[in-house]
A and B are shown apart, each in its own frame.
Chain A
Amino acid sequence: MTGINTRILDMVGNTALVRLDKIAAKAPGVTLLAKTEFANPSGSVKDRAAKGIILDALNTGKLTPGRTIMDATSGNTGIAFAMIGAVLGYPVTLYIPANASPERKRMIQSYGARIVETDPLESSDGAYLAARAAAEANPESIFFPDQYNNPANWRAHYETTAVEIWEQTERAVTHFVAITGTSGTFTGTARRLKEFNSAIQVFAVQPDSPMHGIEGTKHMASTLKPGILDESLPDGVLPVSTDEAYAMTRRLAREEGLYVGVSSGANVQAALRLAKVLPYGSVIVTILCDGGLRYASAPFWDVPA
């Protein structure tokens, strides 16, 4: 009965790569593809990093029975940790800015995890510093994954996301575009793709302003830089405004039937801008980080089609 051996954590990764032909219509000859990371079991790309970090911690003895998993998150990693904690039987506590979406906070709590809200004025940096202080105060009872500085974060993408892209495109990928928050997705995927083929160009996407509404991402010039960010990797940085991300998020739903979140819109907006200046035959891969339901209450959807 091979059909009954799948466990929920086995479903992380191996996401489909979809074509965005309508979005790319104004970039003839360029193929625009996106990894459907919203199809991961807890609903976002963060399942890969969270699974990688927790497996690494179990294998190295950093996470042992009786400890609580405690980290800072703007939402998606928290949801992933909450799911994994539920599966493996570890309590989970997450520090999250109070202005993170109510949908995300409810999901985290629905998995049985605990939330500590931090000052929204201090953004994700404030959540990080609070979680780190709490973890340092209780080193015997806390496992602090530290997603911003844990190499297991980018390694998860090095070992899975990049390999999938390489195989799914039958080695045809020429460009990779991904937004950076912890930078795990970008760093791991870009590093491996360049090892597969050094001619592949990789572009980091960032909010164009320190004041932005692209959840889960960081404006690197004005925030704490993640330790796993490798600034020597990108061939370029593509800034995207929140309004551009909103507009593309709506287009993805209305033209491609892809109900995804704002960071996905930012990625595709940046990829499309790149596509318009690339030569015929280029193959761009980007990331659809999470689904639109997490943003269902956001007014940007209210703009008429």
Chain B
Amino acid sequence: MSVTIQIPSALRAFTERKSEIAVEAKTVGEAITALTNLYPDIRPHLFEEEGKLRSFINVYVAGKNVRNAGGVEAAIPDGETLTLVPAIAGGAPLGVRL
């Protein structure tokens, strides 16, 4: 299923300045993995060394934070948008347990 990932300006240096990347995925985890497969240099900016998504990065699906709504397992409906947002400390709910 096709998913659009919105790329924050901070990471566009790793995506050829593209602000949106289309990937095939059914879940949040699959989508982010597909993104890092396309652009491996982005991986250390999203994941800790042990493979956990960095605590200050929020993932939204259709505008909803999935931290407490499935995390990596959260399903992404076909044609939906996934957004990566650096959660400024104290800002939008922090961290996604993936």
A-side residues, CB < 8 A to B, are 74, 97-104, 120-123, 125-126, 209-215, 219, 222-223, 242-243, 246, 261-262, 294-300
Q: How far apart sit A242 and B89, CA to CA, in the bound complex (Å)?
A: 9
Q: Which residues from 3 to 26 on chain B have a C-beta closer than 8 Å to any C-beta of chain A?
A: 6-11, 13, 19
Partner of A243, one of B7, B55, B87: B55
Contact residues of B: prevailing secondary structure:
loop
Q: Are A99 and B94 in contact (CB under 8 A)?
A: no
Closest to A75 in B: B88
Q: Are B56 and A213 in contact (CB under 8 A)?
A: yes
B83 within 8 A of A: yes
Beyond A99-B88, A101-B91, 7 additional contacts (C-beta under 8 Å) are A99-B91, A100-B91, A123-B10, A210-B10, A212-B10, A213-B86, A243-B48
Q: How far apart sit A93 and B19, CA to CA, in the bound complex (Å)?
A: 28
Partner of A300, one of B6, B85, B89: B89
B-side residues, CB < 8 A to A, are 6-11, 13, 19, 44-46, 48, 54-58, 83, 85-95
Partner of A214, one of B7, B9, B89: B89
Partner of B88, one of A121, A215, A299: A215
A210 touching B94 in the complex, CB below 8 Å, given contacts A97-B88, A295-B89: no
Q: Are B10 and A101 in contact (CB under 8 A)?
A: no
Q: Give the chain B neighbours of A102 by CB distance below 8 A.
A: 90-91
Partner of B89, one of A98, A125, A219, A262: A262
Q: How far apart sit A92 and B8, CA to CA, in the bound complex (Å)?
A: 28
Q: Give the chain A neighbours of B88 by CB distance below 8 A.
A: 74, 97, 99-101, 213, 215
Q: Give the chain A neighbours of B93 by CB distance below 8 A.
A: 299
Q: Are A121 and B90 in contact (CB under 8 A)?
A: no
Q: Chain A's nearest CB lies how many Å from the CB of B89? A: 5
Q: Chain A's nearest CB lies how many Å from the CB of B67? A: 10
Q: Are A121 and B85 in contact (CB under 8 A)?
A: yes
A121 touching B83 in the complex, CB below 8 Å, given contacts A213-B94, A222-B13: yes
Partner of A101, one of B6, B45, B48, B90: B90
Q: How far apart sit A99 and B10, CA to CA, in the bound complex (Å)?
A: 14
